[in-house]
């Protein structure tokens, strides 16, 4: 009984086990009054010194832990039983368990053996001191040993307190949060002066982040803005604010702040306004000749996208939409949510099985609606395509090809790809070329007859004007004028609706549109270069 005379924690622990009853760490802690950590260390040392025997395999029990406001956690807890060792006893069978003396073969992952998760993570970082690794990368590298992302961080925090590992995340005034791939970990070389070792660790994480600024989400967006500006400059192009906002994936105010900060932090980023309205950015490394070419290219694009023809084309869609709503009984429009919510929900994007007219996988249709004539008839699906300007056979054929090769409206037949039965294409144009004739197998026919032969309905502005005349609007009031004067589709619908309710004041409605949108007309004239010679932007003014 010489061992019982040992003082300290080990003596108390051995005193508890001296009755020959197997006990767990918690049992010994309760009987001795010592803390769990002290008991655990004393029992492991006693086992390794041959003073106690330990169960060969761990036992498992379910445990529920009260986490306070966070609720409760249920998990399975493994534990070992310990038994006092007699003189010369190597192993004991007791209560269905086998108790053995210390040997390396009996070490398990939770007992500090070579296969422990903690040991494998520790060695991974120590054996790769020149790199920095995300927690997800470490977990993936060691996944075959059962290592998870949570295992990495719970051990890394312990090593961080000992100064062995440097952990980096998004640093804010309130603390630190992980990157998308997790925290970034790297080894700290304790053999070097602490200041030098930490500087090297920070440098390794900087290299791993590849330019991602980590002090806050705002500064991360600032750095992303700079990267996109440099990228477009190298491609000899300007980058617009709307593009930056879309790529950042944040709110408008957050994007505005990020761009403003980028201009303050990086003086080589320059902002310029085209037509005094649209903001674009470039890096000063762009040459003067390349900059002039990029500016002219963006101006040409803006003339197409923001010019009068584009506006009137969209207004024509709004006019068609209004008349369809009012003259089609029981129409049920298809709707589709689009990214960013910037496009009308009634504009439908369809998947193409074959490219059509430069479109590869998808095409846009202006409206799709269903009509059920009666309970005895199959529903009819109408598909609308609007075109402002003079329409030719090429436009009609392109629309029909889209319907044929779309996944929703086309079908394979023994004679080839055709439009589904019950699908009717509707082509609405301001005017069709009356002089164009179509040759179909040696027979010449008008474009209207050709469209009818292909199960396609043609609608013109004259058809809508006839409806206005029937309601009592004067001849001077036309759909063409409404589309030309209205700012957008919403104003088109408001104008037609107002004229429909009060035809006698329809000319007043036109005058109101003309007055409220005078500034818009002047801007469009500036885009087209009709308001005098357009001022040429000097490089000296921009840089």
Ranges 34-48, 434-448, 476-490: which has the least confidence: 434-448
Q: Which residue has the higher pLDDT, 535 or 67?
A: 67
- Give the contacts of 65 (CB within 8 A, at least 6 positions apart): 72, 73, 74, 75
**Domain segments of the chain as ranges:** 2-111, 117-209, 218-305, 309-525
Residue 533 — pLDDT band, cuts 50, 70, 90?
Answer: very low
Q: Which pLDDT band holds residue 540 (cuts at 50, 70, 90)?
A: very low
DSSP string, 115-138: T-HHHHHHHHHHH-TT-EEEHHHH
Collapsed DSSP state (helix, strand, coil) of residue 77? strand
Residue 299 in this model has a pLDDT that exceeds 80: no
Average pLDDT of the chain? 82
User: Which CATH code is given to the segment(s) 218-305?
Assistant: 1.10.10
The beta-carbon contacts of 156-159 under 8 Å, at least 24 apart in sequence, are 156/121, 156/183, 156/185, 159/122, 159/125
- Whether domain 309-525 has CATH 3.40.1350: the reply is yes
Q: Which tens digits make up the pLDDT trace of 253-277?
A: 888 888 988 887 777 889 988 876 7
Query: Is residue 541 very low, low, confident or very high in pLDDT (cuts 50, 70, 90)?
Result: very low
41-67: average pLDDT: 85
What percent of the chain lies above the pLDDT cut of 90? 10
Strand partners, 425: 383, 456
Rank 77-81, 264-268, 389-393 by mean pLDDT and report only the highest: 77-81
Record the pTM.
0.47
The CA-based dihedral angle spanning residues 116, 118, 119, 124, taken in that order and rounded to the nearest 10 degrees: 130
Summarised one tens digit per residue, pLDDT across range 480-493 is 899 888 988 889 99
> For residues 196 and 533, what is the distance between their CA atoms, to the nearest angstrom?
63
Q: How far apart are CA 495 and CA 514, in angstroms?
A: 12
Higher pLDDT, 233 or 358: 233
Nearest to 436 by CA among 390, 385, 388, 387: 390
Reading across the β-sheet that carries 456-460, which strands appear in turn?
A: 332-333, 367-371, 380-391, 423-432, 456-460
Which pLDDT tens digit goes with each residue over 94-110?
Answer: 888 898 888 877 776 55
- Cα separation, 428 vs 395, in Å, equals 11
**Which CATH number is 117-209's, of 3.20.20.70, 3.40.47.10, 1.10.10.10, 1.10.490.10?**
1.10.10.10
pLDDT of res. 536: 42
Q: What is the pLDDT of residue 4?
A: 40
Name the CATH topology of 2-111: Arc Repressor Mutant, subunit A (1.10.10)
Q: Which residues contact 453 (CB under 8 A, 6 or more apart)?
A: 440, 445
In the structure, what pLDDT confidence band is assigned to residue 494 with cuts at 50, 70 and 90? very high
Q: Which residue has the higher pLDDT, 527 or 160?
A: 160
- The model's pLDDT over 185-239, given as tens digits with 9 standing for 90+, comes to 999 998 889 889 888 988 888 788 765 544 567 777 888 888 889 888 988 889 9
Residue 117 structure tokens: 């998760």
218-305 matches 309-525 in fold: no
The residue ranking higher by pLDDT, 298 or 163, is 163
CA distance 397 to 399: 5
- One DSSP character per residue, 279-311 reads EEEEETTS-HHHHHHHHHHHHHHHHHHHSHHHH
| Residues sharing a CB contact under 8 Å with residue 214, sequence separation 6 or more, in sequence order | 168, 169, 170, 171, 179, 220
Mean pLDDT value of segment 180-189: 87
Q: Count CA atoms closer than 13 A to 138's CA, side-chain side.
A: 32
Whole-angstrom distance, CA of residue 441 vs CA of residue 381: 29
Average pLDDT over residues 9-20: 86
Average pLDDT over residues 437-457: 82
């Amino acid at each position: 009984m010489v061992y019982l005379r040992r003082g300290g924690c080990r003596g108390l622990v051995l005193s508890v086990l001296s009755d020959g009853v197997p006990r767990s760490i918690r049992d010994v802690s309760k009987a001795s009054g010592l803390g769990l950590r002290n008991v655990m260390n004393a029992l492991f040392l006693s086992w390794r010194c041959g003073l106690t025997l330990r169960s060969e395999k761990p036992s498992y029990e379910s445990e529920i832990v009260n986490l306070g406001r966070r609720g409760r956690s249920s998990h399975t807890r493994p534990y070992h039983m310990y038994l006092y060792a007699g003189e010369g006893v190597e192993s004991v069978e007791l209560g269905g368990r086998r108790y053995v003396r210390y040997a390396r073969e009996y070490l398990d992952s939770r007992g500090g053996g070579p296969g422990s998760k903690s040991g494998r993570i520790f060695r991974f970082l120590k054996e790769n001191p020149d790199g920095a690794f995300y927690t997800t990368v470490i977990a993936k590298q060691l996944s075959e040993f059962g290592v998870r992302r949570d295992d990495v961080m719970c051990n890394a925090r312990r090593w961080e307190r000992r100064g062995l590992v440097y952990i980096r995340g998004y640093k804010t005034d309130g603390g630190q949060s992980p990157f998308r791939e997790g925290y970034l970990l790297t080894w700290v070389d304790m053999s070097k002066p602490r200041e030098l070792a930490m500087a090297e660790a920070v440098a390794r994480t900087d290299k791993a982040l590849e330019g991602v600024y980590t002090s806050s989400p705002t500064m991360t967006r600032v750095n992303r803005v700079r990267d996109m500006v440099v990228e477009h400059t190298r491609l000899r192009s300007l980058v617009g604010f709307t593009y930056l906002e879309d790529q950042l994936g944040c709110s408008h105010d957050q994007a505005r702040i990020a761009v403003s900060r980028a201009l303050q932090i990086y003086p080589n980023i320059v902002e310029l306004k085209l037509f005094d309205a649209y903001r674009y950015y470039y890096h000063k490394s762009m040459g003067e000749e390349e900059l002039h070419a990029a500016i002219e290219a963006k101006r040409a694009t803006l003339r197409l996208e923001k010019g009068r023809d584009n506006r009137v084309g969209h207004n024509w869609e709004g006019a068609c939409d209004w008349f369809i709503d009012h003259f089609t009984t029981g129409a049920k429009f298809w709707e589709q949510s689009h990214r960013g919510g910037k496009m009308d929900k009634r504009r439908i994007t369809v998947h193409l099985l074959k490219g059509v007219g430069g479109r590869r996988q998808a095409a846009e249709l202006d409206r799709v609606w269903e009509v059920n004539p009666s309970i005895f008839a199959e529903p009819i699906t109408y598909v609308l395509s609007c075109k402002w300007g003079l329409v030719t056979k090429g436009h009609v054929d392109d629309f029909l090809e889209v319907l044929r090769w779309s996944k929703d409206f086309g079908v394979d037949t023994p004679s080839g790809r055709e439009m589904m039965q019950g699908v009717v294409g509707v082509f609405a144009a301001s005017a069709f070329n009356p002089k164009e004739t179509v040759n179909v197998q040696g027979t010449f026919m008008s474009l209207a007859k050709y469209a009818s032969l292909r199960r396609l309905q043609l609608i013109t502005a004259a058809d809508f004007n006839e409806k206005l005349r029937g309601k009592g609007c004067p001849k001077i009031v036309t759909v063409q004028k409404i589309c030309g004067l209205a700012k957008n589709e919403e104003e088109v619908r408001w104008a037609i609706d107002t004229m429909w309710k009060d035809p006698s004041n329809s000319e007043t409605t036109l005058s109101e549109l003309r007055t409220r949108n005078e500034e818009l007309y002047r801007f469009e004239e500036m885009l087209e270069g009709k308001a005098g010679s357009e001022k040429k932007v000097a490089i000296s003014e921009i840089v």
